[in-house]
Amino acid sequence: MADPKETDMEARFNYYGTAAGQKFVKHINSAGHAMAATGLPNTTTQLVLLRASQINGCAMCTDMHYKDAVHAGDEPERLNLVAAWREATKFTDAERAALELTEQGTRVADGAGGVSDEAWARAAEHYDEEQLAALISTIALINAYNRLNLISRVPAGDYKPGQW
């Protein structure tokens, strides 16, 4: 792996500076805002956003969602354990179900079956239909954002909570 001091820490492409990129992002931001009124707890949403970003290796989104979660009141020590949630005692059963669904929904190419019936059943035990719709939508949305940032190679580290 390259030394961070030797790598180019600038985006390879200013996706967000194009008319097409701005139009697309405006629409997916609207989709994300629509999910806020579903009753899915914000702490769960933040965990989902952080975990998918970690899996996808999106430094920009990992930085953003960690900082936003801390700003919203979540504990840094707990957020530090998101990548190892299965072995951590800091998550509720509902959060564990959401994290499992996030992992399977994000890693669809890694498994022939996609999201297992067992993972779905665990999520359905804790969330109603509106919350499940929000959970699915949030997983899809963050995966789209991760790909936009990864393809464009958007650097991380300078995000301030609430910036966007």
Taking only the tens place, the pLDDT of each residue in 105-120 is 999 888 767 899 999 9
Q: Where are the alpha helices (H) located in the chain, listed in sequence order?
A: 19-35, 42-56, 59-71, 76-79, 93-106, 117-126, 129-152
Please state the pTM of the whole predicted model.
Answer: 0.91
Q: Where are the domains of the chain?
A: 41-152
Neighbour tally for 64: CB within 10 Å:
22
Residue pLDDT, tens place only, 1-46: 444 454 567 889 999 899 999 999 999 999 989 988 899 999 999 9
CATH superfamily assigned to domain 41-152? AhpD-like (1.20.1290.10)
Is 59:67 a contact under the CB 8 Å cutoff? Answer: no
> Which carries the bigger pLDDT value, residue 85 or residue 10?
85
Q: Which of 92, 90, 154, 87 is nearest to 123 (CA)?
A: 92
Q: From the CB of residue 42, how many other CB atoms can be counted at a distance below 10 Å?
A: 13
Taking alpha carbons only, the member of 101, 54, 57, 58 closest to residue 79 is 54
